[in-house]
Amino acid sequence: MLTVSRSVDRVFHIMELFAERRRPLSATEIHTTLKIPHSSAVSVLTRMVALGYLNQNVDTKRYFPSLRLHRLCKTVPEAIIGGNPLAELVDRVQYCSGETTSISRLDGLFTLPIYVRPSERADAWRVTPGLPGGLATLSVVGRTLLSTMPDAELRKFLDNANRWAARARSGAASDSAQLMRAVEFVREHGYLCRYNLLFEGVGAISCPLPSTDSRQSLAVTVAGPADRIQQRGRQIINALLHEITTLRRSVPRTATH
């Protein structure tokens, strides 16, 4: 009999495989790819079907995530970012820009994407929700998030980030003057746009969002190939600023940054 922890591990590994393959899978393909016993794979799959999280085609015997699971996976990140208005904002910006659009927050010294609408383009910038990014002091989204901090708190954050970089010998120390120029630009203009900052060949445009009930600072970011972002930069910036202005009108004045 499977232990509870092993069963949980296998459920998530199976779901990650569906996310990767994006098509119905057989029990044989699942157990072969994940290197788990066939009987164990069938046991987990059968239970997930019984709970309504997977469907099984009666003819092909292949499995695929159900609409119930899709709704659950969509609702959870929406709850984290403050509900449908922010999720819908991301959807509209992604549709307008055609590029990967995400909402991120700070996670210690790093950025953390928590809601992502990926681009379908083959050369799209890939962002994985829940997977920490780089040091906040070095990225477009990180500097945008840092712009919401009071200056004293920001200087302390920068010192901590540079100490971390020194201990890790990463060579990722930040120039405080350059960081502050970026922060002041965001505070004045409401966005930050940079190319080849953290990753070569990548452009990103990021805007701070009005605070939500979660009371955490959030930023929305559009990222993709630098040349394409640069060509459509003004259009993307205008779309972002328009959506944020519209959102801000629906948020109580005392809740905004």
Nearest-angstrom CA–CA distance, 137 and 110: 8
Domain count, the chain: 2
Q: For 148-186, what is each residue's pLDDT tens digit?
A: 999 999 999 998 998 888 887 655 666 788 889 999 999
Residue-range definition of the domain harbouring residue 16: 4-65
Claim: this prediction has a pTM higher than 0.85 = no
Q: Tell me which of 44, 65, 86 is where a domain ends.
A: 65
158 CB-near residues (< 8 Å, 6+ apart): 137, 174, 176, 179
pLDDT recorded at residue 3: 60
Least confident of 3-7, 31-35, 48-52, 250-254: 250-254
Calculate the average pLDDT of the chain: 83
Q: For 129-140, what is each residue's pLDDT tens digit?
A: 777 788 899 999
Residue 47 and residue 122 in one domain = no
User: Long-range CB contacts (< 8 A, 24+ apart) of 33-39?
Assistant: 34/10, 36/10
Element (H, E) at 204: strand 202-208
Residue 199 and residue 138 in one domain = yes
Nearest to 36 by CA among 64, 14, 5: 14
Q: For 114-127, what is each residue's pLDDT tens digit?
A: 888 889 898 999 88
Nearest-angstrom CA–CA distance, 17 and 30: 8
95: domain CATH number is: 3.30.450.40
Helix (H, G, I), strand (E, B) or coil at 223: strand
